[in-house]
Protein backbone atom coordinates (compact mmCIF):
# COMPACT_ATOMS: atom_id res chain seq x y z
CA UNK A 1 0.00 0.00 0.00
CA UNK A 2 1.43 3.41 -0.97
CA UNK A 3 2.21 5.66 1.97
CA UNK A 4 -0.06 8.75 1.86
CA UNK A 5 2.67 11.00 3.28
CA UNK A 6 6.13 10.00 2.06
CA UNK A 7 9.11 11.24 4.05
CA UNK A 8 11.02 13.79 2.00
CA UNK A 9 14.24 15.27 3.30
CA UNK A 10 15.68 18.72 2.67
CA UNK A 11 19.46 18.89 2.69
CA UNK A 12 19.94 21.31 5.58
CA UNK A 13 23.53 22.46 5.13
CA UNK A 14 22.79 25.83 3.51
CA UNK A 15 20.06 27.57 1.52
CA UNK A 16 16.26 27.92 1.64
CA UNK A 17 15.67 24.96 3.95
CA UNK A 18 12.67 26.27 5.88
CA UNK A 19 10.88 27.38 2.70
CA UNK A 20 11.33 23.96 1.07
CA UNK A 21 10.07 22.20 4.20
CA UNK A 22 6.91 24.32 4.16
CA UNK A 23 6.32 23.74 0.43
CA UNK A 24 6.80 19.97 0.77
CA UNK A 25 4.35 19.78 3.67
CA UNK A 26 1.83 21.80 1.64
CA UNK A 27 2.42 19.29 -1.16
CA UNK A 28 1.50 16.31 1.00
CA UNK A 29 4.85 15.07 2.33
CA UNK A 30 6.29 14.62 5.77
CA UNK A 31 9.31 16.91 5.50
CA UNK A 32 12.49 16.48 7.54
CA UNK A 33 15.88 18.19 7.63
CA UNK A 34 18.88 16.08 6.62
CA UNK A 35 22.37 16.76 7.97
CA UNK A 36 23.62 13.27 8.83
CA UNK A 37 24.04 10.00 6.96
CA UNK A 38 21.59 8.27 9.31
CA UNK A 39 18.94 10.88 8.42
CA UNK A 40 19.62 10.42 4.71
CA UNK A 41 19.02 6.69 5.03
CA UNK A 42 15.50 7.28 6.36
CA UNK A 43 14.04 9.43 3.57
CA UNK A 44 11.99 8.43 0.52
CA UNK A 45 13.11 11.49 -1.45
CA UNK A 46 15.36 14.51 -1.04
CA UNK A 47 15.44 18.20 -1.99
CA UNK A 48 18.74 19.95 -2.71
CA UNK A 49 17.94 23.61 -2.03
CA UNK A 50 19.30 26.75 -3.58
CA UNK A 51 22.22 28.51 -1.97
CA UNK A 52 25.90 28.63 -2.91
CA UNK A 53 26.83 25.48 -4.80
CA UNK A 54 30.52 25.58 -3.87
CA UNK A 55 29.66 25.93 -0.19
CA UNK A 56 27.18 23.05 -0.32
CA UNK A 57 29.77 20.92 -2.15
CA UNK A 58 32.32 21.62 0.59
CA UNK A 59 29.85 20.96 3.41
CA UNK A 60 28.77 17.65 1.86
CA UNK A 61 32.34 16.50 2.32
CA UNK A 62 32.71 17.98 5.82
CA UNK A 63 29.54 16.18 6.96
CA UNK A 64 30.62 12.99 5.13
CA UNK A 65 27.40 12.96 3.11
CA UNK A 66 28.75 13.18 -0.42
CA UNK A 67 29.53 9.51 -1.09
CA UNK A 68 26.38 8.30 0.66
CA UNK A 69 24.21 10.70 -1.33
CA UNK A 70 25.86 9.76 -4.63
CA UNK A 71 25.16 6.11 -3.83
CA UNK A 72 21.50 6.77 -3.05
CA UNK A 73 21.06 8.80 -6.24
CA UNK A 74 22.60 5.96 -8.24
CA UNK A 75 20.19 3.58 -6.48
CA UNK A 76 17.17 5.57 -7.66
CA UNK A 77 16.43 7.99 -4.82
CA UNK A 78 14.05 10.71 -6.10
CA UNK A 79 15.84 14.07 -5.80
CA UNK A 80 14.70 17.59 -6.67
CA UNK A 81 17.35 20.32 -7.03
CA UNK A 82 16.51 24.02 -7.24
CA UNK A 83 19.14 26.51 -8.48
CA UNK A 84 22.32 25.34 -6.68
CA UNK A 85 20.62 21.94 -6.44
CA UNK A 86 20.47 21.79 -10.25
CA UNK A 87 24.23 22.43 -10.34
CA UNK A 88 24.84 19.64 -7.83
CA UNK A 89 22.81 17.13 -9.86
CA UNK A 90 24.52 17.89 -13.17
CA UNK A 91 26.97 15.41 -14.65
CA UNK A 92 28.91 18.28 -16.24
CA UNK A 93 29.54 21.84 -15.06
CA UNK A 94 30.72 24.97 -16.87
CA UNK A 95 32.21 27.99 -15.06
CA UNK A 96 32.50 26.08 -11.80
CA UNK A 97 34.84 27.16 -9.04
CA UNK A 98 38.26 25.56 -8.81
CA UNK A 99 38.02 21.95 -7.57
CA UNK A 100 34.20 22.15 -7.45
CA UNK A 101 32.52 18.76 -7.80
CA UNK A 102 28.95 17.72 -8.45
CA UNK A 103 26.93 14.75 -7.26
CA UNK A 104 25.83 13.91 -10.79
CA UNK A 105 22.92 11.84 -12.01
CA UNK A 106 21.44 14.22 -14.57
CA UNK A 107 22.86 13.88 -18.08
CA UNK A 108 23.13 17.63 -18.53
CA UNK A 109 25.76 20.32 -18.85
CA UNK A 110 24.91 23.22 -16.54
CA UNK A 111 26.41 26.71 -16.69
CA UNK A 112 26.86 28.13 -13.20
CA UNK A 113 25.69 31.75 -12.62
CA UNK A 114 24.61 31.83 -16.26
CA UNK A 115 22.37 34.87 -15.86
CA UNK A 116 24.87 37.02 -13.99
CA UNK A 117 25.15 38.36 -10.47
CA UNK A 118 22.47 38.63 -7.79
CA UNK A 119 21.58 42.16 -8.96
CA UNK A 120 20.53 40.56 -12.25
CA UNK A 121 17.83 38.45 -10.55
CA UNK A 122 14.33 38.54 -12.04
CA UNK A 123 10.98 36.76 -12.36
CA UNK A 124 9.23 35.21 -15.34
CA UNK A 125 5.99 33.30 -15.86
CA UNK A 126 6.81 29.78 -17.08
CA UNK A 127 4.80 26.93 -18.53
CA UNK A 128 6.18 23.66 -17.16
CA UNK A 129 5.43 20.42 -18.98
CA UNK A 130 3.57 18.00 -16.73
CA UNK A 131 3.33 20.51 -13.89
CA UNK A 132 1.31 23.59 -14.84
CA UNK A 133 -1.20 21.67 -16.99
CA UNK A 134 -4.31 23.76 -17.60
CA UNK A 135 -3.44 26.10 -14.73
CA UNK A 136 -1.63 29.43 -14.86
CA UNK A 137 2.12 29.59 -15.46
CA UNK A 138 4.52 29.25 -12.54
CA UNK A 139 5.98 32.49 -11.18
CA UNK A 140 9.67 31.56 -11.55
CA UNK A 141 12.18 33.54 -9.48
CA UNK A 142 15.77 33.44 -10.76
CA UNK A 143 18.57 34.41 -8.35
CA UNK A 144 22.17 34.03 -9.64
CA UNK A 145 20.67 31.15 -11.56
CA UNK A 146 22.25 28.47 -13.74
CA UNK A 147 20.83 27.21 -16.99
CA UNK A 148 21.13 23.91 -18.82
CA UNK A 149 23.55 24.36 -21.71
CA UNK A 150 23.05 20.86 -23.09
CA UNK A 151 20.72 17.96 -22.24
CA UNK A 152 21.26 14.29 -23.04
CA UNK A 153 18.78 12.17 -25.01
CA UNK A 154 17.10 10.70 -21.91
CA UNK A 155 16.50 14.10 -20.31
CA UNK A 156 13.01 15.59 -20.56
CA UNK A 157 13.00 19.36 -20.97
CA UNK A 158 10.28 20.59 -18.62
CA UNK A 159 10.68 24.34 -19.04
CA UNK A 160 12.37 26.95 -21.24
CA UNK A 161 12.52 30.70 -20.99
CA UNK A 162 10.01 32.31 -23.30
CA UNK A 163 11.30 35.87 -23.57
CA UNK A 164 14.28 38.18 -23.21
CA UNK A 165 17.87 37.73 -24.40
CA UNK A 166 18.02 34.21 -22.94
CA UNK A 167 14.78 33.05 -24.60
CA UNK A 168 14.83 29.33 -25.32
CA UNK A 169 17.31 28.50 -22.56
CA UNK A 170 16.48 25.33 -20.62
CA UNK A 171 15.60 26.05 -16.98
CA UNK A 172 13.75 22.90 -15.84
CA UNK A 173 14.51 19.24 -16.57
CA UNK A 174 13.61 15.74 -15.47
CA UNK A 175 15.41 12.43 -15.92
CA UNK A 176 13.87 9.40 -14.24
CA UNK A 177 13.62 10.12 -10.51
CA UNK A 178 15.56 13.39 -10.76
CA UNK A 179 13.97 16.83 -11.20
CA UNK A 180 15.79 20.15 -11.37
CA UNK A 181 14.90 23.81 -11.87
CA UNK A 182 17.04 26.93 -12.27
CA UNK A 183 14.51 28.92 -10.27
CA UNK A 184 13.21 28.98 -6.69
CA UNK A 185 9.56 27.83 -6.45
CA UNK A 186 9.85 27.55 -2.67
CA UNK A 187 9.73 31.33 -2.18
CA UNK A 188 6.60 32.15 -4.19
CA UNK A 189 3.86 30.30 -2.30
CA UNK A 190 3.07 28.18 -5.39
CA UNK A 191 3.56 24.55 -4.33
CA UNK A 192 2.91 22.88 -7.71
CA UNK A 193 6.56 21.98 -8.37
CA UNK A 194 6.85 20.45 -4.90
CA UNK A 195 3.52 18.68 -5.31
CA UNK A 196 4.80 17.19 -8.56
CA UNK A 197 7.97 16.04 -6.85
CA UNK A 198 6.04 14.47 -3.97
CA UNK A 199 4.01 12.54 -6.58
CA UNK A 200 7.30 11.36 -8.12
CA UNK A 201 8.41 10.11 -4.71
CA UNK A 202 5.11 8.26 -4.18
CA UNK A 203 5.57 6.47 -7.51
CA UNK A 204 8.86 5.02 -6.24
CA UNK A 205 7.47 3.63 -2.98
Catalytic residue list: 83, 184, 186
Cα 27 to Cα 21: distance, rounded to the nearest angstrom: 10
Give percent helix, percent strand, percent coil of the chain, each to the nearest 5: 30, 30, 45
Q: Do residues 10 and 201 lie in contact, with contact meaning Cβ atoms separated by under 8 Å?
A: no
DSSP count for the chain of H helices, then E strands: 6, 12
Q: DSSP string covering 16-48, please?
A: SHHHHHHHHHHTT-EEEEE-SHHHHTT-SEEEE
Amino acid sequence: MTAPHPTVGVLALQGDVREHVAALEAGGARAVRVRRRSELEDVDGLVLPGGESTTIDRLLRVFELRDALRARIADGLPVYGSCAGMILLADRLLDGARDQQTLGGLDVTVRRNAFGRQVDSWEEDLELTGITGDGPPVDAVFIRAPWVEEAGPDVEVVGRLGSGPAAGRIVAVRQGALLATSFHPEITGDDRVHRHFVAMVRQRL
